[in-house]
Amino acid sequence: MKCRQAAELFNIYFEGGLDRSRTRELMEHAAACQDCRREMDMLGVVFDGLGSQTASRKVRESFTKDIMSVIEKGSKRPVNLQNGAQNDYRPVYRRLGFSLIITAAVMLISVSIPQTAKISDAYASVNSRVQNILNDVSNQIGFQKEE
Amino acid sequence: MTDEIIVQRVLEGNTHIFSELVNRYKDRVYAMACNFIGDYSEAQDLSQEVFIKVFGSLHLFKGGSSFSTWLYRICYNMCIDWIRKNKKKWIRACENYEDNDRPDASADVENNYIAACKRNSVITGVNSLKDKYRAVIVLFHFNNLSYEDIAHILKIPVKTVETRLYRGRNQLKKLLAAELSGGGKYEMQAGS
């Protein structure tokens, strides 16, 4: 067995996934190779340290009760498969999604077109009044000259 | 009653039965939260938020994986989000672990004390690993999940789980070797 292979097998060995014959072969190699023995020992310490860390603390007594009280207040409810969207409590923008964006865009355009037309009409009206004033002024000047 | 049947009943309107799922998984979810974020009190609150989010998302559970895997995936994602939003708190929790959980120097058996210090060093090392290695180490060793479950949760191939586990452990070995070669620290503490 080569050292590189042994290094991979040490992981499986400590995970408990190595069969007896392979384990024997691995231990024989570790006995004969000092470097691999050291690697195995260090990996053993790592596994030992990692294996001792399952949390021994428990959740508080009111843990489940607190959760159920939030749920029963109705702040979050799942979708009822039988009633479909009827009980959908997702926010409006999530439910309507893309269709809302399209609707908003259409409304914006439809409102802006009449407004644009109104502005054009107002401009034309002001323009014609200005023209009339200018015509009046130029006529008066022309009348004075003739005199 | 299986998890999937309970989910179905909840979706049909029997909300109260969700407490059965909470009771089944509360300790494991709490353990995962503790192992990731390191602060026991914050882990309690986060664990409750996990279940509330799970309840609100039950309609999205399609049954492609087991309920437990789906639950752990949500928990894992929320833990990562918590760490991102509370980086300073998380770093402080890791530092406090090293200080507060070191065993009493007056322990009767010197060897047990040194072994416990080694374990503490391993855990400190876990917290210093890159996120991708720490995730698989925590899920495999602390939460006792299988390669397949971890692959589902992290959405990576099983072979990648194996590779990251081996590399994560190698890094821990190196960290431990470096700390032990400094050597005197344990002997000094044992003798004091």
Residue A147 in this model has a pLDDT that exceeds 50: no
pTM: 0.64
- Start-to-end CA span in chain B (Å): 56
CB of B31 within 8 Å of any CB in chain A? yes
Distance from CA of B83 to the nearest CA of A (A): 19
Q: What is the pLDDT of residues A26-56, one digit of tens each?
A: 999 999 999 999 989 889 888 888 875 555 5
B30 dihedral zone (left: phi>0; alpha: psi -120 to 50; beta)? alpha
Task: Kindly determine whether residue B55 and residue A76, on different chains, have CB atoms separated by under 8 Å.
Answer: yes
In this prediction, residue B154 carries a pLDDT of 93
pLDDT of residue A117: 65
- Report yes or no: A63 and B44 within 8 Å, Cβ to Cβ: yes
- The residue among B48 and B103 whose pLDDT is bigger is B48
Q: Which is nearest to B142 in space by CA: B76, B54, B74?
A: B76
CA A47 – CA B70 distance, rounded (Å): 27
Residue B31: the pLDDT is 86
Check CB contact under 8 Å for B47 and A63: yes
pLDDT at A46: 87
Distance in angstroms (rounded) separating the CA atoms of residues B73 and B98: 28
> For residue B100, what pLDDT is reported?
40
Which among B47, B51, B123 has CB closest to A49?
B123
For chain A, the distance separating the N- and C-terminal CA atoms, rounded to the nearest angstrom, is: 126
Q: B30 and A55 in contact (C-beta within 8 Å)?
A: yes
Provide the 10 A C-beta neighbour count for residue B185.
12
Residue holding tokens 């070669």?
Answer: B181
A61 exposed, middle or buried (CB, 10 Å; 0-12, 13-18, 19+)?
A: exposed
Mean pLDDT of chain B: 81
DSSP assignment letter at A80: P
Per CB-CB distance under 8 Å, the chain B contacts of A63 are: 22, 26, 44, 47-48
The closest CB to that of A46, out of B15, B58, B173, belongs to B173
pLDDT digits (tens, 9 = 90+) for B83-94: 888 887 777 777
- Return the minimum-mean-pLDDT range out of B38-52, B89-103, B131-145: B89-103
What pLDDT is recorded for position A113?
72
Angle at which helix B158-181 crosses helix B110-128, to 10 degrees, equals: 130
Chain A: give the shortest CA distance to residue B68, in Å. 17
Tokens in use for A12?
A: 């499986």
Testing the interface with B: which of A37, A62, A67 to mutate, by most B Cβ within 10 A? A67
Q: Does B105 touch chain A (CB under 8 A)?
A: no
Nearest CA in chain A to B119: A49
> Tokens 């097998």 — which residue?
A9
Distance CA B146, CA B102 (A): 30
Per-residue pLDDT tens digits for A59-118: 888 899 999 998 888 754 454 433 444 444 455 566 566 677 788 888 888 777 766 666
d(CA A64, CA A42): 41
Residues of chain B positioned with their CB less than 8 A from the CB of A49: 118-123, 172, 176
Residue of chain B whose alpha carbon sits nearest to that of A65? B19
Q: Name the nearest CA neighbour of B38 among B144, B99, B127, B100.
A: B127
Cβ of residue B62 closer than 8 Å to a chain A Cβ? no
pLDDT at B133 over 90: yes
A141: amino acid identity, one letter: I
Smallest Cα–Cα separation from A2: which of A23, A34, A26?
A: A26
* Nearest residue in chain B measured CA to CA from A83: B12
Mutate which of A46, A48, A54, A60 to disrupt the B interface (most B C-beta within 10 Å)?
A46
Q: What is the band of A1 on the pLDDT scale with cuts at 50, 70, 90? A: confident
Contact (CB, 8 A) for A93 and A100: yes
From A50's Cα to the closest Cα of chain B, the distance in A is: 6
Considering only CB atoms, which chain A residues are within 8 Å of B98? Answer: none
The tokens for B166 are: 């081996």
- Taking the CA of residue A102 and the nearest CA in chain B, the distance in Å comes to 26
B85 at A interface, C-beta within 8 A = no
Under 8 Å CB pairs connecting chains A and B tally to 114
Backbone phi, psi, residue B61, to 5°? -80, 110
